[in-house]
Amino acid sequence: GNRLLVYDTSDGTLLQPLKGHKDTVYCVAYAKDGKRFASGSADKSVIIWTSKLEGILKYTHNDAIQCVSYNPITHQLASCSSSDFGLWSPEQKSVSKHKSSSKIICCSWTNDGQYLALGMFNGIISIRNKNGEEKVKIERPGGSLSPIWSICWNPSREERNDILAVADWGQKISFYQLSGKQIGKDRALNFDPCCISYFTKGEYILLGGSDKQVSLFTKDGVRLGTVGEQNSWVWTCQVKPDSNYVRHITGVVGCQDGTISFYQLIFSTVHGLYKDRYAYRDSMTDVIVQHLITEQKVRIKCKELVKKIAIYRNRLAIQLPEKILIYELYSEDSSDMHYRVKEKIIKKFECNLLVVCANHIILCQEKRLQCLSFSGVKEREWQMESLIRYIKVIGGPPGREGLLVGLKNGQILKIFVDNLFAIILLKQATAVRCLDMSASRKKLAVVDENDTCLVYDIDTKELLFQEPNANSVAWNTQCEDMLCFSGGGYLNIKASTFPVHRQKLQGFVVGYNGSKIFCLHVFSISAVEVPQVTGGTCPLSALARRTRSGKPGPLLVFSNKGKGGGRTRMKSLGDGEELVLRKYMFLFVVLPQDFLGSGDPKETKMLITKQADWARNIKEPKAAVEMYISAGEHVKAIEICGDHGWVDMLIDIARKLDKAEREPLLLCATYLKKLDSPGYAAETYLKMGDLKSLVQLHVETQRWDEAFALGEKHPEFKDDIYVPYAQWLAENDRFEEAQKAFHKAGRQREAVQVLEQLTNNAVAESRFNDAAYYYWMLSMQCLDIAQDPAQKDMMLGKFHHFQRLAELYHGYHAIHRHTEDPFSVHRPETLFNISRFLLHSLPKDTPLGISKVKILFTLAKQSKALGAYRLARHAYDKLRGLYIPARFQKSIELGTLTIRAKPFHDSEELVPLCYRCSTNNPLLNNLGNVCINCRQPFIFSASSYDVLHLVEFYLGEGITDEEAISLIDLEVPRPKQDNRQQEIANSSSQILRLVETKDSMGDEDPFTAKLSFEQGGSEFVPVVVSRLVLRSMSRRDVLIKRWPPPLRWQYFRSLLPDASITMCPSCFQMFHSEDYELLVLQHGCCPYCRRCKDDPGP
């Protein structure tokens, strides 16, 4: 088109269409600083726009503009047409134009902005300086048969020479230096390339064209894979400028059919580690092996996409798209870095994980492990119960190595390469993310899907300890009781039973050898030196050396010997008691017990507090905590425990504190909540008697069962529980449960809002079954609110309105699915009945989403199939007055013609019968869904929409619902008519005669007498029953809709007791019993109100 469309890349919304061109826009380009962009059109003009989407300049060429490009340094604009190209710069008012020998298709500036490359239709590439003078001319071998369709200079600053990538329609990609010298050979593409774009750092290329896909290439032209597939030619692709993320690159693609697609390319880490050797993928096609101790590196060029890497001892395995290469070291020297190819397995494998052993390759394929020899022969296979999440070689003799395998179901196994049977080490409840085994093979460290590090004793299967916030774990290969794990931006080191030592570190732990921990961050691995002694040991060692090197003072001598008499001696030297104590504290020496016992209690407490402060300063927090507790400084002790994450110590302090000490208890609870120990925090709040904080804790930690239990005991917190619960449900897309929670919390307005939104969405998305359900829920919500006398009339009106809409949408769901789906699950009779029901029930203003065309079309089609030709003709005539969608027009026109050949009457089998007056009603009833004779409303089945053999009756004056129930339940059993069979036989015939005996209680049912009415009246006369009639009724023949107040109950009498009818106790919809049982069996609930069969009634 002739408009320029500007989109927001964050969400794809159209910001503004720009008008200025009079013909099709062919090209657009941004300046590097983003302040301007230019567009070229078939109207031979170039328009320069600002970043505020304002046009500031327009100039023209003699022919249509084919391409534009901004100089990255000077912001000079090059615009190219079929016969010339122009150069415009902000400093010049005029545009300098230069003739061209052929049509220019593409152009690109070098990084320094000194040269402009032009790609032409005749297969020539012309390199010009910024003044437009030609410096280099490159002729492609195909000449005019190979038009240069896209060119791009490599933006990398690390390349020594400027490199130009050229894509031509000889279906080749080639690379040239600025001098015109070709780099390497042409690479065949097998499609016509239309666009080429370098990544920001020049390491990869995006290429698209006639193959209808965008492909990723290396900077040398090696194809790596497909980024995305489209439905038409890809004419342009661009990488987002300054996409400097190491793993994430954003690209945009434009296609022939007008589609614009955004892609985010994520480059995963492909690597392998064994002790001090680390192998990783570089530039997607190379493998670099790094010696972590000597820092030596060796590069192995594969010239194909590297998919998987595995390293073990002197073996290195590299999986390529069509083969696996196995390398080995030249020598057994631990520092040797020379690898040579040992074997090649020329076969394509699809696997999730790859492991190499001394003589085998192990492939992981979802739940299956395959063991292959280096010649590619499958020797063994193991099938697991669940997905394999982690696999590691733990050593062993060549050909008999052991593997550690972690599964998604929490099972951990040990497998030996030469053994067909796996050994189950243990099974935990959560999925395995990472595994490692200690040096002696006695302990197992597991990181699960909850980011928890768990350490087990392999022999006893006992959980020794667990630590939170872990994403990877590794045992020390030299020290049995030391392990480290990373997570949450920290490196954690655990030695035996001592507390965890933590220090900041970004990345993942991949190995732990002696005092070195190897950590991977993005693509680089680093060694972290970890001291094997505590921080407090170093100053003490230094103090000991200093003491040995010189003459100690008397104060130090006395303190080291621990003699109480030293105090007397020091006082005699002229030092006051206070000065002596300060010196003791200054030298970090523990005071003798006899001195502490002889002083004032307040002074003793002050000294212990100072001791604790000293221990805290020298980073001995556990000792400080014990001293603070002894001194009664519980708040400080709690702060240290909380800062270090010592949950056990916090709960011990909380349990020892008196419930009257609210400040330390509250601080304990706060830290426990912050440390993800809600159970202990709840215990503390209970001890304090702070129920409100306990409720808030349950809500914040989403422990809803505990919150509900507390709400049952203390109703005053009901609002504090159910409102956040409803909001949480709504945030998790559980809107129906959210509505019920709002309702339970007494927030009627919010409950109704949620339901209305759900209903509107369901109608808008043509989910009419859901819409019916939500309208039913809305009606029941209104009925509940109607108990308020102030809102009774309004809410009852809404109740009846929503009930009616629910019935309409419930029926229309079947019509909609019949017209939209290729196959229908409903019988023709059911569709016929539904369409008649809807046609008679629809109000003047058709509800949103309901199509009269679909109803009439279904009615016409099914009427014709069932023999109701007159009704079908009427439906087709009605359709002629409506707007018909194109997809129905042919069927309706054909049906209109063919129905004329049918007789003008309806099949008598389809005619509905009124069970009150036994009148046959016409299929098309002007009065609606009522009898034309007695005006009795028809009762329909909510599944088949047949007219049910029910008649509604009303209670006589003064009879309450409770009395009516008691009268019906007190029925007097009446003997049924004695229908006896009498058989008479003679020589010529055999006769079966039915002999009837009169009812001993009378000839007529009292209710039947009540069904009579005055013929010829136009008003509906309801059936009103007295106490005598109620007493004569059988309980099994009466169905009662027990509506909650303020509604009265509704009573229905079955006139055919042998035909069973079932009423849902929740929505009060009626069904044929067989239909209802089948539907509940299929769906597990009522098809109308979705009440589960095991749920109690209302």
Q: Is a pLDDT exceeding 80 seen at residue 85?
A: yes
Question: pLDDT at position 450, please?
Answer: 92
Q: How many CB atoms lie within 10 A of CB 351?
A: 19
> What is d(CA 776, CA 807) in angstroms, rounded to the nearest whole number?
8
Q: 1061 forms bridges with which residues in the sheet? A: 1072
**3 state SS of 984:** strand
Question: pLDDT at position 982, please?
Answer: 42
DSSP string, 1067-1080: T--EEEHHHHHHHH
Question: pLDDT at position 248, please?
Answer: 62
Average pLDDT over residues 954-980: 70
Q: Output 447-456 pairs: Cβ under 8 A, ≥24 positions apart.
A: 447/471, 447/472, 447/473, 447/485, 448/410, 451/487, 453/485, 453/492, 454/428, 455/483, 456/426
Question: pLDDT at position 437, please?
Answer: 93
Question: pLDDT at position 749, please?
Answer: 64
Q: For the stretch 655-691, what's the b/e string if a residue is b when 16 or more beta carbons lie within 10 angstroms of its beta carbon?
A: eebeeeeeebbbbbbebbbebebbebbbbbbebbebe
Question: pLDDT at position 1011, please?
Answer: 73
pLDDT, tens digit, for every residue of 802-834?
A: 999 999 999 999 999 888 887 777 888 999 999
Average pLDDT over residues 555-571: 42
Question: pLDDT at position 754, please?
Answer: 66
Query: Which has more pLDDT, 356 or 889?
Result: 356
pLDDT, tens digit, for every residue of 760-770?
A: 888 888 888 88
pTM (2 d.p.): 0.49
| Confidence bin at 506 (pLDDT 50/70/90) | confident
Q: Take residue 750 and report the two structure tokens written for it.
A: 């919010």
> What is d(CA 751, CA 821) in angstroms, rounded to the nearest whole number?
34
Starting at the earlier edge strand, list the strands of the sheet with 187-188: 148-153, 163-168, 172-177, 187-188
| Confidence bin at 106 (pLDDT 50/70/90) | very high
Q: Take residue 726 and report the two structure tokens written for it.
A: 């409803």
Q: For the stretch 190-229, what's the b/e string if a residue is b when 16 or more beta carbons lie within 10 angstroms of its beta carbon?
A: ebbbbbbbbbbbbbbbbbbbbbbbbbbbbbebbbbeebbe
Percentage, residues of the chain above pLDDT 70: 80
Question: How far is Cα of residue 127 from the mean position of the Cα atoms in its chain?
Answer: 51
Query: Which has more pLDDT, 654 or 990?
Result: 654
Please give the backbone phi and psi of residue 471, each rounded to the nearest 5 degrees, phi first: -120, -20
702: left (phi over 0), alpha (psi -120 to 50) or beta: left
Question: pLDDT at position 151, please?
Answer: 96
Distances (CA, A) of 507 to 486, 489, 520, 684: 7, 7, 5, 36
Query: Which has more pLDDT, 486 or 586?
Result: 486
Average pLDDT over residues 331-337: 84
Question: pLDDT at position 123, please?
Answer: 93
> What is d(CA 155, CA 203) in angstroms, rounded to the nearest whole number?
9
Q: Is a pLDDT exceeding 80 seen at residue 101?
A: yes
Question: pLDDT at position 715, please?
Answer: 63
Average pLDDT over residues 681-709: 70
Contact 283, 293 (CB under 8 A): no
Q: How many CB atoms lie within 10 A of CB 488?
A: 12
**Residue indicated by tokens 């794809």:** 12
Which is nearest to 756 in space by CA: 742, 766, 771? 771
HEC assignment per residue over 110-142: CCCCCEEEEEECCCEEEEEECCCCEEEEEECCC
Average pLDDT over residues 443-455: 94
Note the helical H segments in 925-1072: 961-969, 1006-1010, 1027-1032
What is the DSSP pairing of strand 77-81 with strand 84-88?
A: antiparallel
Exposed/middle/buried for residue 818 (C-beta within 10 Å: 0-12, 13-18, 19+): buried
Q: What share of the chain is helix, strand, coil (3-state, %, to 5)?
A: 30, 30, 40
Contacts of 658 (CB under 8 A, 6+ apart): none
Domain locations in the chain as residue ranges: 428-530, 533-583, 600-689, 950-974+1009-1083
Lowest-confidence pick of 305-319, 387-401, 471-485, 538-552: 538-552
pLDDT, tens digit, for every residue of 392-438?
A: 999 899 999 999 999 999 999 999 999 999 999 999 999 999 999 99
Please give the backbone phi and psi of residue 52, each rounded to the nearest 5 degrees, phi first: -90, 10
| Confidence bin at 568 (pLDDT 50/70/90) | very low
| Confidence bin at 644 (pLDDT 50/70/90) | confident
Lowest-confidence pick of 385-389, 402-406, 555-559, 989-993: 989-993
Question: pLDDT at position 960, please?
Answer: 87
pLDDT, tens digit, for every residue of 858-895?
A: 999 888 888 888 888 888 888 888 888 888 888 888 88
Q: Is a pLDDT exceeding 60 seen at residue 1098?
A: no
Question: Which DSSP category does 689 fall into?
Answer: T
pLDDT, tens digit, for every residue of 279-291?
A: 999 888 999 999 9
Highest mean pLDDT among 514-528, 668-682, 945-959: 945-959
pLDDT, tens digit, for every residue of 697-738?
A: 767 776 666 666 666 666 666 666 655 665 566 555 555 555
Question: pLDDT at position 586, please?
Answer: 45
Question: pLDDT at position 384, please?
Answer: 93
Query: Which has more pLDDT, 45 or 633?
Result: 45
pLDDT, tens digit, for every residue of 989-1023?
A: 333 333 444 443 444 667 777 777 666 567 788 88
Q: What is the CATH number of domain 600-689?
A: 1.25.40.10
**Mean pLDDT of all residues belonging to the chain:** 82
> What is d(CA 312, CA 546) in angstroms, rounded to the nearest whole number?
48
| Confidence bin at 1074 (pLDDT 50/70/90) | confident
> What is d(CA 725, CA 616) in angstroms, rounded to the nearest whole number?
43
Which is nearest to 856 in space by CA: 843, 874, 844, 868? 874
Percentage, residues of the chain above pLDDT 90: 36
Question: pLDDT at position 958, please?
Answer: 85
Q: How many CB atoms lie within 10 A of CB 1071?
A: 24
Question: Which DSSP category does 476 fall into?
Answer: B
Question: pLDDT at position 565, please?
Answer: 41
Peptide bond into 1046 cis (omega under 30): yes
Question: pLDDT at position 308, please?
Answer: 94
| Confidence bin at 483 (pLDDT 50/70/90) | very high
> What is d(CA 69, CA 89) in angstroms, rounded to the nearest whole number?
12
Query: Which has more pLDDT, 711 or 550?
Result: 711
Query: Which has more pLDDT, 615 or 230?
Result: 230
> What is d(CA 116, CA 70) in angstroms, rounded to the nearest whole number?
10
Highest mean pLDDT among 357-366, 577-586, 990-999: 357-366
| Confidence bin at 785 (pLDDT 50/70/90) | confident
Exposed/middle/buried for residue 183 (C-beta within 10 Å: 0-12, 13-18, 19+): middle
In the chain, the amino acid numbered 863 is S
Q: Which CATH number fits domain 428-530: 2.120.10.30, 2.30.30.790, 1.20.120.330, 2.60.40.10?
A: 2.120.10.30
Contact 229, 210 (CB under 8 A): no
Contact 755, 773 (CB under 8 A): no
Which is nearest to 491 in space by CA: 543, 529, 533? 529
In the chain, the amino acid numbered 6 is V
Question: pLDDT at position 980, please?
Answer: 42
Q: Is a pLDDT exceeding 80 seen at residue 274?
A: yes
Question: pLDDT at position 581, please?
Answer: 45
pLDDT, tens digit, for every residue of 115-170?
A: 999 999 999 999 999 889 999 999 998 888 899 999 999 998 888 889 999 999 99
Query: Which has more pLDDT, 88 or 244?
Result: 88
